[in-house]
Amino acid sequence: MDPAPLYRAVRDVPDFPKPGILFKDIMPLLADAACFRLAIDGFVEICRALPGGPPTKIVGIDARGFLFGAAVAYALGVGVVPVRKKGKLPGRTESHAYTLEYGEAVVEMQADALAPGERVVVIDDLLATGGTAGAALELIRKLGGKPLAVLFLIELEFLRGRAKLGDTPVTALLNYP
C-alpha cells in the first residue's frame, strides 16, 4: 500500500485542543472515498496476515477508532466491540483507569463482550502516549480475550507510546518520527 495519499489527507492543526499540541485532523482522510478505502484495506490486509489467521473480534476505541474498527470488522466478516469512556455502556461492565498528562481517565467494556480466548485486534486512529490503547489491552485481558495486535492510522513515534503496549505487536499505517 502506498501511504502517500493518506499522508497528504491528514491536516495539521496547531494549538488544538490546547496550546502546544499539534493536532492530527483525520477528517479530510475519512471524507475522501479513495483514502478511506485505502486505510481500511490496509488494516484488513494486516489482520488477514496475522499468525494463526484473522481475529474473531475487532475492538474499536472511543471515538475515532469506531469509524475504522466498524469498517474493518465488516470487511473481515467479524463483530465489533467498543471501548468507551466511563458511563456510556449499559449493564455489567469492566473498567480500567489510566493516567493522563493531567489527572485520570476511565474506559469501559461490557463484561460479556468477548468469549474466553477470543482473538482480538484493537483499532484506534492515533497512538500518542499509549495510555488509552494500553487501558484497552488491560480490559480485553480482564474479559479473557487474547489481543493479537494493536493497529493505528497514525503513530506519533516521538511520544514512545508503544512502550506502554508491552508485547502486543503494534502497527501504524502512517508514522511521524
Q: How far is the CB of 26 from ligand AMP (least distance, A)?
A: 8
Q: Determine which residue in the list 55, 130, 145, 147 makes contact with ligand AMP, applying CB under 6 A.
A: 130
* Separation CA 71–CA 143 (nearest Å): 23
37 assigned to active site = no
Q: Is 21 in the site for ligand AMP (CB under 6 A)?
A: yes
Gap between the Cα atoms of 177 and 172, Å rounded: 12
Shortest distance (Å) from residue 24 CB to ligand AMP: 4
In order of 19, 22, 39, 84, the CA distances from 13 in angstroms are: 11, 6, 21, 25
List the Cα angle 100/127/96 in 5-degree steps. 45
- The question of whether 64 is a catalytic residue gets the answer yes
Residue number, 46 or 123, with CB nearest to ligand AMP: 123
- Told to check if 138 binds ligand AMP by CB under 6 A, we report no
* DSSP per-residue codes, 103-145: SEEEEEEETTSS-TT-EEEEEEEEESSSHHHHHHHHHHHHTT-
Cα(118)–Cα(146) distance, rounded to whole angstroms? 6
- How many CB atoms are closer than 10 A to CB 10? 18
Q: 54 vs 60, which CB is nearer to ligand AMP?
A: 60
- 129 lies in the site for ligand AMP, by CB under 6 A: yes
Beta strands 93-99 and 104-110: pairing type? antiparallel
Kindly tell me which of 54 and 134 has the beta carbon lying closer to ligand AMP: 134
Footprint of ligand AMP on residues 53-82 (CB under 6 A)?
Answer: 61, 64
Minimum CB distance to ligand AMP, residue 130 (Å): 5
CA distance 163 to 93: 27
Catalytic residue among 37, 94, 101, 119: 101
Residue from 6, 9, 126, 153 touching ligand AMP (CB under 6 A): that is 126
Residues that bind ligand AMP (CB under 6 A): 21-24, 61, 64, 124-132, 161
Q: Which residues are catalytic?
A: 64, 101
